Amino acid sequence: MIGGRRPIQGRKPADRRVRVERPHSAYFRYSGPGQLVAKPAASTPRTGLDRTVQRWKAWLLGRPLASEEEIGERLPKKLALPIFSSDAISSSAYATDEILRVLVLAGSAALFISIDVAIAIAVLLTVVSLSYRQVCRAYPSGGGAYVVARENLSQTAGLIAAAALFIDYMMTVAVSTASAVSQAYSVWPQLYDIRIEIAIVSIALITVANLRGLREAGNIFAMPTYLFVGMALLMIGLGLSHIIGGTVPQLPDPAEVIKPPQTLEPLVGITGLILLLRAFAGGAVALTGVEAIANGVPAFKPPESKNAGNTMTMMAILLGILFVGITFVGNRFGIQPTTEAGPTAIAQVSSSVFGAGSPLFVLFQISTALILFLAVNTSFNAFPRLAAILAEDGFMPRQFSLRGDRLAFSWGIVVLAVVAALLLVAFQGDVHLLIPLYSVGVFVCFTLSQVGMVRHWISSKESGWQWRMVVNGLGAVLTFVVLIVVASIKFAAGAYLVIILIPTLVMLMMFIQRQYQASAKALAVRPDFVVRPPAREERAIVTVPTINRAVVRAVNVARSIADDVIAVYISDNPEASRELRERWERQIPGVQLVIVESPYRALAGPLMAYLDVLDRAWPPDKPEPVTFVVVPEYVALHWWERILYNQSSRRLRAVLLGRPHTVVVDVPYRRDDPDRFHYDNEPHADPGGPEPASSEPPANES
Amino acid sequence: MADSTTTPQFRRAVVALSGGRTDRPIVALAAEVAKTGKAELIGVHVVEIDWTQPLDADVAGRSESAQRVLDIAEATAEGARYRLECVLLQARDVGAAIVDEAVEREADLIILGLPFQRRFGGDFTIGRTIPYILKNAPCAVWVVREAMPKEHA
């Protein structure tokens, strides 16, 4: 665009040049022929309110990131370990409690079996983590159990796995937060009364951290995870040295200790086996979160699969050492399970090893509370990714696949936070009430993904497929057995809710997909169809509330759309109709005005009926015309003024939206538009001069 | 990375953009060198208007390819984390327009890219713009010739 600029004289008389304006350059950049890339300025809010909102959003969440910055958001292993493993590692903080609470039913002496139960769970952990290492290798695009089950078993199996994972992630947030708060009131009992408030604030903080983006979330979460791992290893080491040296401290049992029942359950026969299985099912919560790495493989730096697999191994080793170590030291120190208000098993171990109230004890409890708070983050990473994959497959609303300003899947993050907060409130932040709902979903997806992997190796026959299939097959059998045990033993305690929820979620996802498929079918254009210019006639109907600038603009827009223009005035006042017709014929000649008297004061009904009448009057041998209903709209300057206007326009739009062969055209007229208003018959008139209805909004707007 | 102890410093440089293969390397080089002295970079692309049209004919403004030359240069500079101001000119003579723009903007350096090409007959050719600028620019001129292709070496 030259923009009327005159040539600039150079140093020599003949050397002249013209600077060409580049109006697109502030907002766009050409990246190829006919292809523009928007710059940040193109997304700048245009109103004061939007600008204020954006400033606050940028302060809270950080500056928006461009899509190409995503690769910079990929995680190195040292950040991925705390992000994806904090859930699994942190479950070592409460898994021991869950074993002890069951075993105590057989008397204090039965607590010594806890180490055997822990070792059995560690074996299961080894098999499951080896199996998931294979998933990382085979499915570098992530998705975990959902993708594996979908690709190798069936779509329904995939959806069952996805529903189970959703429940698992929601429960992780609720359970870990509740458990973190319980660690805090193990040290400061006065916090018990405000546990729900603390939990909700912590979920809000983690939500904000995640909305800021992956890398920043990793930076926030790395330190507490490593602090917990370091302190827990130190505690186990010191505990072992006390055990070996025969210097195990004798501490009094806490006041809240759970006393064995009067009638002890025997540890032999079927009853004993069931008790052991219950203890095993309780401790199996230690495995929750193991699958998160397999779900988040694309978040790793390249080579993604290898890095994810190595992180998985590192996580399993750490979790195994911590869980078995804490249980063993607790076992030898004679730790007793306590009620909800009492100190946790890990708090008792640290109190014995570091000394009650010592700085190391307080630091360890803080690090335990922190990692439990941050364990929630594993779900905040995995849930939105899974929801995005499902949304791309059409099983979730499409919003879940859209990235926010910081490249995070904002919808998934916010939905997860809200549901988890509601769960915490509903269960009053009680870990032991929440846990029965927890592990069933986890083992459903473990089993489905392992079975899926067995099918994968059989069909792909990659190198070493036989031993890989054996690993996954063993994982499938073991996790299925644990699933049956967990589901049957925890059924009455709340697992039945999960068993109802999984099919409900599956049906909901199938319903969403059917809706999307139906709309896609309705909107589809055959690939061989060549679009030709329209052959149908067009007509424009302008809804007229009075004569004002907005109406004049709408009439002119209608004239530019079609030759056949009719203005329709719906009135309940014959006197006003007469006055309008007189004025219309004088001021807007050439455009037919139809007045529809509406004695019952209805607006939308008579207009629709009039449109129907026009359609019926159309010659049957001609194709139906496209009817453009042109609605003048007065746009007030401020958002708070807008509530006063355009209620009728909105109503009309809503009614007309589904009408066949009808297009609704909104013609906005801003209050600061008068300079652009053209008096067609007075080309030299002062555009800012008086005009009878210059600032009058549509009359029937209320 | 340029070494600030050996690299000549400048305040403002005009980078002449031809739309050819040398544009990206010279912009990247200019950005790296400019960083050391926080110098200003101005990318100039000139669309030559022949005498059959008026000088202010709406040619470059409507030409997507002319706009793209500058947009690609701007993106290259951004990739090097540096800002490049872009100017699109129409002129009868490219060399004169670049020199005049550099003079008007008080640039103390003009950077030009020179593709290695031979005229029919085998002689290395430099065109007419670069000699004009070398002869008439009041400021320093850097000409960065691209590496000789293997078949010519």
* One domain for residues A271 and A401: yes
Of A380, A463, A451, A389, which is closest to residue A174 (Cα–Cα)? A380
Q: What is the pLDDT at residue A306?
A: 87
Say yes or no: B76 contacts chain A, CB-CB below 8 A.
no
Among A285-289, A412-416, A684-688, B27-31, name the one with the lowest average pLDDT: A684-688
Residue type, A642: R
Tally of structural domains, chain A: 2
Instruction: Average the pLDDT over B62-76 and give the result.
Output: 88
Please indicate, yes or no, if residue A197 is contained in any of the structural domains.
yes
Environment class of A521 (CB within 10 Å of its CB; exposed 0-12, middle 13-18, buried 19+) = exposed
Q: Which residues between 307 and 366 in chain A have a beta carbon less than 8 angstroms from any beta carbon of chain B? A: none
Cross-strand bridge partners of residue A305: none
Q: What is the pLDDT at residue A676?
A: 56
A185 near A192, Cβ under 8 Å? yes
Of the candidates B46, B75, B103, the beta carbon closest to that of A29 is on B75
User: Mutation test of the interface with chain B: which of A12, A15, A16, A20, choosing the one with the most B Cβ atoms within 10 A?
Assistant: A20
* One domain for residues A490 and A556: no
* One domain for residues A592 and A662: yes
Say yes or no: B28 contacts chain A, CB-CB below 8 A.
no
Please tell me whether residue B144 adopts helix, strand or coil conformation: strand
Of B107, B61, B114, which is closest to residue B88 (Cα–Cα)? B61
Host domain of residue A255: 73-517
In chain B, the residue whose alpha carbon lies closest to the alpha carbon of A27 is B71
CA distance B90 to chain A (A): 5
pLDDT greater than 70 at residue A217: no
Q: How confident is the model at residue A692 (pLDDT cuts 50, 70, 90)?
A: very low
Q: Between A and B, how many residue pairs show a Cβ–Cβ distance under 8 A? A: 83
Q: What is the pLDDT at residue A102?
A: 83
Look-up of token digits 């690769």: A71
B70–A15 C-beta distance less than 8 A: no
Q: What is the pLDDT at residue A71?
A: 53
List CB contacts (< 8 A) between B76 and chain A.
none
* One domain for residues A171 and A209: yes
A29–B56 C-beta distance less than 8 A: no
Q: What is the pLDDT at residue A702?
A: 31
Give the per-residue SS3 of A170-197.
HHHHHHHHHHHHHHHHHHCHHHHHHHHH
pLDDT in tens, A219-233: 666 788 889 999 999
Q: What is the pLDDT at residue A225?
A: 85
Environment class of A394 (CB within 10 Å of its CB; exposed 0-12, middle 13-18, buried 19+) = middle
Distance separating alpha carbons of residues A378 and A287, to the nearest angstrom? 13
CATH code at position A594: 3.40.50
Distance separating alpha carbons of residues A634 and A674, to the nearest angstrom? 12
Q: How confident is the model at residue A283 (pLDDT cuts 50, 70, 90)?
A: confident
Please indicate, yes or no, if residue A284 is contained in any of the structural domains.
yes
* One domain for residues A610 and A469: no
CA distance B153 to chain A (A): 33
B90–A17 C-beta distance less than 8 A: yes
Among A64-73, A177-186, A259-268, name the one with the lowest average pLDDT: A64-73
Among A70-84, A298-312, B129-143, name the one with the lowest average pLDDT: A70-84
pLDDT greater than 60 at residue A243: yes
Environment class of A127 (CB within 10 Å of its CB; exposed 0-12, middle 13-18, buried 19+) = buried
DSSP state of A691: -
Other Cβ atoms within 10 Å of A677 Cβ, number: 16
Of the candidates A18, A22, A29, the beta carbon closest to that of B56 is on A18
* One domain for residues A395 and A440: yes
Please tell me whether residue A476 adopts helix, strand or coil conformation: helix
pLDDT in tens, A86-120: 878 888 888 888 888 888 877 777 778 888 889 99
CA distance A73 to chain B (A): 17
* One domain for residues A610 and A474: no
Of A437, A581, A455, which is closest to residue A496 (Cα–Cα)? A437
pLDDT greater than 90 at residue B123: no
* One domain for residues A472 and A586: no
pLDDT in tens, A341-361: 677 788 888 888 888 778 888
Residue type, A565: V
Please indicate, yes or no, if residue A289 is contained in any of the structural domains.
yes
Please indicate, yes or no, if residue A30 is contained in any of the structural domains.
no
CA distance A27 to chain B (A): 11
CA distance B149 to chain A (A): 27
Distance separating alpha carbons of residues B87 and B62, to the nearest angstrom? 15
Q: How confident is the model at residue A303 (pLDDT cuts 50, 70, 90)?
A: confident
pLDDT in tens, B51-61: 888 888 888 77
Please indicate, yes or no, if residue A142 is contained in any of the structural domains.
yes
* One domain for residues A265 and A299: yes
Residues 6+ apart with CB under 8 A from A83: A75, A214, A217, A218, A221, A222, A296, A299, A377, A378, A381
B88–A30 C-beta distance less than 8 A: no
Q: What is the pLDDT at residue A701?
A: 37
CATH code at position A475: 1.20.1740.10
Q: What is the pLDDT at residue A693?
A: 35
Please indicate, yes or no, if residue A37 is contained in any of the structural domains.
no
Q: What is the CA radius of gyration of chain B?
A: 16
List CB contacts (< 8 A) between A22 and chain B.
61, 67, 70, 86, 88
pLDDT greater than 50 at residue A605: yes
Say yes or no: A10 contacts chain B, CB-CB below 8 A.
yes
Own/partner contacts of A431-435, CB < 8 Å, gap of 24 or more, are: A431/A94, A431/A175, A431/A178, A431/A179, A431/A182, A431/A340, A432/A98, A432/A101, A432/A340, A433/A494, A434/A171, A434/A174, A434/A175, A434/A178, A435/A98, A435/A175, A435/A282, A435/A285
* One domain for residues A567 and A443: no
Q: What is the pLDDT at residue A694?
A: 35
Pick the residue with more confidence: B118 or A273? A273
Q: How far does chain B reach from its first CA to its final CA, in angstroms?
A: 27
Token duo for residue A373: 């708070």
Q: What is the pLDDT at residue B7?
A: 59
The distance between the two most distant Cα atoms of chain A, rounded to a whole number of Å, is 113
Distance separating alpha carbons of residues A90 and A175, to the nearest angstrom? 11
Please indicate, yes or no, if residue A7 is contained in any of the structural domains.
no
pLDDT in tens, A497-526: 888 889 999 999 999 999 999 999 988 988
CA distance A72 to chain B (A): 14
* One domain for residues A574 and A470: no
pLDDT greater than 90 at residue A385: no
Cis previous bond, A82, omega within 30? no
Environment class of A261 (CB within 10 Å of its CB; exposed 0-12, middle 13-18, buried 19+) = exposed
Say yes or no: B92 contacts chain A, CB-CB below 8 A.
yes
Cross-strand bridge partners of residue A300: A75
Q: What is the pLDDT at residue A50?
A: 78
Instruction: Average the pLDDT over A586-606 and give the result.
Output: 86
% chain A with pLDDT above 70: 88
Instruction: Average the pLDDT over A23-37 and give the result.
Output: 79
Instruction: Average the pLDDT over A542-566 and give the result.
Output: 92
Token duo for residue A687: 């555009």
Of A192, A199, A193, A153, which is closest to residue A173 (Cα–Cα)? A199
Ranked by mean pLDDT, the top range of A55-59, A146-150, A337-341, B99-103 is B99-103
Q: What is the pLDDT at residue A673?
A: 64
Say yes or no: A14 contacts chain B, CB-CB below 8 A.
yes
pLDDT in tens, A420-451: 899 888 877 777 677 767 778 888 888 998 89
* One domain for residues A491 and A550: no
Say yes or no: B13 contacts chain A, CB-CB below 8 A.
no
Alpha-carbon dihedral of residues A85, A91, A93, A97, nearest 10 degrees?
-170
Other Cβ atoms within 10 Å of A164 Cβ, number: 28
Of B132, B109, B111, B110, which is closest to residue B48 (Cα–Cα)? B132
Q: What is the pLDDT at residue A576?
A: 87
In chain A, the residue whose alpha carbon lies closest to the alpha carbon of B49 is A17
Q: What is the DSSP string of A279-328?
A: HHHHHGGGGTTTTHHHHTGGGBPSSHHHHHHHHHHHHHHHHHHHHHHHHH
Q: How confident is the model at residue B5 (pLDDT cuts 50, 70, 90)?
A: low
Environment class of B78 (CB within 10 Å of its CB; exposed 0-12, middle 13-18, buried 19+) = middle
B101 near B89, Cβ under 8 Å? yes
User: Mutation test of the interface with chain A: which of B49, B90, B99, B105, choosing the one with the most A Cβ atoms within 10 A?
Assistant: B90
Starting at the edge strand found earlier in the chain, the sheet holding A626-635 runs A592-597, A564-571, A538-543, A626-635, A662-670
Q: What is the pLDDT at residue A652?
A: 86
Token duo for residue A269: 């026969």
- Checking ipTM against 0.90, whether it exceeds it is no
- Ordered by where they begin, the domains of chain B are 12-132 (3.40.50.620)
pLDDT greater than 70 at residue B24: yes
In chain A, the residue whose alpha carbon lies closest to the alpha carbon of B96 is A15
Average pLDDT, chain A: 81
Among A54-58, A523-527, B38-42, name the one with the lowest average pLDDT: A54-58
Instruction: Using the Cα atoms of residue A618, residue A621, residue A622 and residue A628 in order, give the sign of their dihedral.
Output: positive
B47–A19 C-beta distance less than 8 A: no
B14 near B110, Cβ under 8 Å? yes
pLDDT greater than 50 at residue B38: yes
Other Cβ atoms within 10 Å of A453 Cβ, number: 27
User: Mutation test of the interface with chain B: which of A2, A5, A17, A39, choosing the one with the most B Cβ atoms within 10 A?
Assistant: A17
A2–B97 C-beta distance less than 8 A: no
Say yes or no: A5 contacts chain B, CB-CB below 8 A.
yes
